[in-house]
Structure 1
Amino acid sequence: MIRAREGKAEAASPQADRLPLLAYLTDEASEAALRTGLAELGGTVQVRRGDIRHAVRALEREATPQVLVVDVSGVDDALGALEKLAGVCTPDARVFVVGERADIGFYRSIVHELGADEYIFKPLTRDNIAMLVGARIAQEAGVAETLPGRGGRIVTVCGMRGGVGATTLAVNLAALVAESTKGHVALLDLHLRGGSAALMLGGKPGSGLRVALEEPERADALLLDRVAIPVSERLRVIAAEEPFDIDPAPTPEGVRNVLDLLRARFNVIVVDLPMPPTAAERMALSMARHRIFVLGPDLASVRDAEAARKLVSGLGVATPPILALNREGWRGGLRTALIEEGLGTGFDLRIPDLPAQIPAAANLGKLALNECPAFRRALQPVAAELFGGKRAVEPKRLLGFWRRRARGEAAVAAVS
């Protein structure tokens, strides 16, 4: 077996002839998660429908890609199939395995014993693909210095203009994530004057947030604990209610410090962000793992969405925003197909027009999530994609079994 593998390696195609990334996946949902999670790689991602057995048959004839993603779902002898894959691939290929089995023993067999780069179990999300695959590819290419650090994930929610429902979405998304994942969630409202996140949840904010944002040297975890408004056991709101005759002056350093403190205490931080953002608020955009842009079915939203996308691109962010259309079907509003044509892309989230239920819930200080089943159904897919999937355990960085073998062969060649 070793001798046969060495022969395969010697016949390897030049690097220039190899696909940058090839994936064999068995379902459409996994393909969508892979493409959105690796959106910064653009057209270099090639996805084919099939499992690891299809990959083995194809790579017997084709050049080995630089990065290979294979699906072992439904394969009885997945470990044996991986051994066969090693026999037809060149030693320097990076291999990521996707499957449905979530037990730790199976994970250890693939990563620790066989030495694959990572095993990710389904359902895939754009988040675990970006973190476990995209960040490692970027690090290997020298465009990222380190893998993502420990700490909670930041999600910004921005309305393309006032009144499109961004705060409603942010409040209910935070509550849904806390409910469904049982994680600790913080909802940070950066509308320091006139913000309504705490109001929607029946809370009364104080003035400590403004101090933390303006004078980062005075902010610490104890201050944020005093400022945080408990909504439930797993959800806290951090907000302010400054008078209209006061001009808050948050600094980029203050925003970074507050978010770093929150990342150390919470699994997820949902940020209700004003748009267009100031320099301080742009810091939150640059730190976010995900950015949700909320549009209404109107021409101004389409115009401002394009400006917001250019803004985010100028911050050096490659991952495209998540586009949410609120009040779909609003009488007198633009048709969804026409908006998508103007944007040049489709929506990740669509919320129907609910003119009675949503305002009623907000006025009563209740979650629309609990008062309106249609609203819950609309939010669930994006919440599940971002946070609902179980995440694979992140091991210490190991050499893949192809690279380990290649280094061993190089060492033998040097000695001889």
Structure 2
Amino acid sequence: MITYQQQPPGSPETLVAGDGDDYIAPAPRVSVQAFCETAETAAAVQAAAGDRRMIKAHVRVQMGGMAAATEAYRNSPTPNVIMLETESRGDAILASLDELAEVCDAATRVIVIGHYNDITLYRELVRRGISEYLIGPVNPIDVVRAVSTLFHAPSAKPVGRIVAVVGAKGGVGASTIAHNVAWAVARDLKLDAVITDLDLAFGTASLDYNQDPPQGIADAVFSPERVDTAYIDRLLSKCTDHLSLLAAPATIDRVYDFTPESFDPVIDALRATVPCVVLDVPHLWSAWTKRVLVGADDILVVATPDLASLRNAKNIIDMLKGARPNDRRPLYCLNQVGVPKRPEIKPPDFAKALEDEPVAIIPFEPQLFGTAANNGQMIAEVASTHRIAESFRHLAQLLTGRSESKKARPSRLPPLIGKLFAR
């Protein structure tokens, strides 16, 4: 039996990146220096520096407020962004800003954190070129949003959404689930999607989709200077009208060692043009896999009902919750449930240990999955009405924050009217 959890509408868990005003774009590679007057604000800025959206920014927090900033920049260049906290009022703030302007580069953007809600002051700050005025106390997410807004038009909705799927251990079927979820996103939600195979040595996406593309993700990763949206578009292999594949070479003629930032250009280019990008993340732990997971908009951890999966899933989810305090917690599903004669950890026990319910429980169906794999097809192609296919559709909806339009209930009036006119 397949079961899944539906998040209640309007709950905090349903607020996901990409849903209108809740989306905060990642900050670019900029330097940010904050001069605070209170320990609370300094802590908030420091916490914001650890947010996944600020991973490319270089943030430095100091105390002393506006006076310390003015003194610091007399003999040193100013950064891209300066954040200034002040407990002063109107004219005192403007006087301090005038002193800072004498030593501040014209291109530097300034965010002021004040403690008084004064519309007259706000208008004067805007007239003098201040980029943003925040009223304290501020939260880390307020700081992240303020920095992000400086470099991204607030009215421009994001194009892409990054969904990462990773296995709690090897052999749990994470790649199969990633491929089927991407298929459901494209076919059932009618959303343009790209499935990206990050397992360059042993990836199976090209086999599962019955594709043999001459180029793929390796071409982009090993030539980062060439990566842009047009180049990535040329590397994509078309699977369906709405689904494309960025395939792995699946060869071992070279060693695939990557720096933490190796996949950043590829993911950024995909995010800029594709509404949904599903990352098939291999089961290995390195700097680049951690960076990919932390930077994703949503994460699905795939586990089987055994002790090793339970331990690993808990470790992965706990780590990601700590690294992404302002995001929805990673989701997880149980796969290959009900293997004959295999002792298993029951889903309620699994949920108790992880302090969260699985979003899907997928039964062990070797005939169905084996047929699909050998034919290079998805589950929905082999058995479109099967409950497992419905489970993948549910996961697609949950991970993209979208839902299918409800089908209208058939009315009894048309047949009745037809019978009347037939007389």
* TM-score bucket of the superposed structures, by smaller chain: 0.5 to 0.7
Shift of 1:206: 3.6
Name the amino acid aligned to 1:284.
V
Match of 1:295 in 2: 303
> Would the aligned equivalents of 2:199 and 2:280 in 1 still touch at CA under 8 Å?
yes
Match of 2:270 in 1: 262
Match of 1:144 in 2: 145
1:212 match: secondary structure: helix
1:384 match: secondary structure: helix
State yes or no: 1:199 paired with 2:207.
yes
> Would the aligned equivalents of 1:200 and 1:365 in 2 still touch at CA under 8 Å?
yes
Alignment deviations for residues 197-250 of structure 1 (CA, whole Å, 9 cap, x no partner) = 111010114454223223311222333223211101110010122422411233
Relative to its length, the structure with more helix (as a share) is 1
* Mapping of residues 208-219 of structure 1, within 5 Å: 208-219=216-227
Match of 2:394 in 1: 381
Gaps of 5+ in 1: 1-27, 40-136, 392-416
Q: Report the more deviating stretch, 368-377 or 191-200.
A: 368-377
Q: Report the more deviating stretch, 203-212 or 254-263.
A: 203-212
> Would the aligned equivalents of 1:189 and 1:240 in 2 still touch at CA under 8 Å?
yes
Q: Report the more deviating stretch, 190-199 or 141-150.
A: 141-150
Q: Report the more deviating stretch, 239-248 or 354-363.
A: 239-248
Q: Report the more deviating stretch, 249-258 or 267-276.
A: 249-258
1:334 match: secondary structure: coil
State yes or no: 1:228 paired with 2:236.
yes
Name the amino acid aligned to 1:144.
R
Change (3 A) 1:237 1:320: same
Change (3 A) 1:359 1:390: closer
Larger Rg: 2
In 2, distance between residues paired with 1:354 and 1:202? 21
Match of 2:357 in 1: 346
Match of 2:13 in 1: 36
Name the amino acid aligned to 2:237.
I
Query: TM-score if structure 1 supplies the norm length?
Result: 0.59
> Would the aligned equivalents of 1:206 and 1:239 in 2 still touch at CA under 8 Å?
no
* Mapping of residues 125-136 of structure 1, within 5 Å: none
> Would the aligned equivalents of 1:207 and 1:242 in 2 still touch at CA under 8 Å?
no
Match of 2:80 in 1: none
Alignment deviations for residues 168-197 of structure 1 (CA, whole Å, 9 cap, x no partner) = 111111111111222210000100011001
CA RMSD of aligned residues (A): 2.8
In 1, distance between residues paired with 2:220 and 2:338? 41
Change (3 A) 1:353 1:296: same
Residue 161 of structure 1 is aligned with which of 155, 164, 169?
169
In 1, distance between residues paired with 2:339 and 2:10? 30
Q: Number of residue pairs matched?
A: 268
> Would the aligned equivalents of 2:194 and 2:278 in 1 still touch at CA under 8 Å?
yes
Residue 329 of structure 2 is aligned with which of 320, 332, 338?
320
In 2, distance between residues paired with 1:252 and 1:210? 15
State yes or no: 1:271 paired with 2:271.
no
Change (3 A) 1:141 1:218: closer
Query: TM-score if structure 2 supplies the norm length?
Result: 0.58
Gaps of 5+ in 2: 17-137, 406-423
Alignment deviations for residues 86-119 of structure 1 (CA, whole Å, 9 cap, x no partner) = xxxxxxxxxxxxxxxxxxxxxxxxxxxxxxxxxx
Match of 1:252 in 2: 260
* Mapping of residues 325-404 of structure 1, within 5 Å: 325-331=334-340, 332=342, 333-372=344-383, 373-387=386-400, 388-389=402-403
Overall identity of the aligned pairs, in %: 29
In 1, distance between residues paired with 2:319 and 2:193? 27
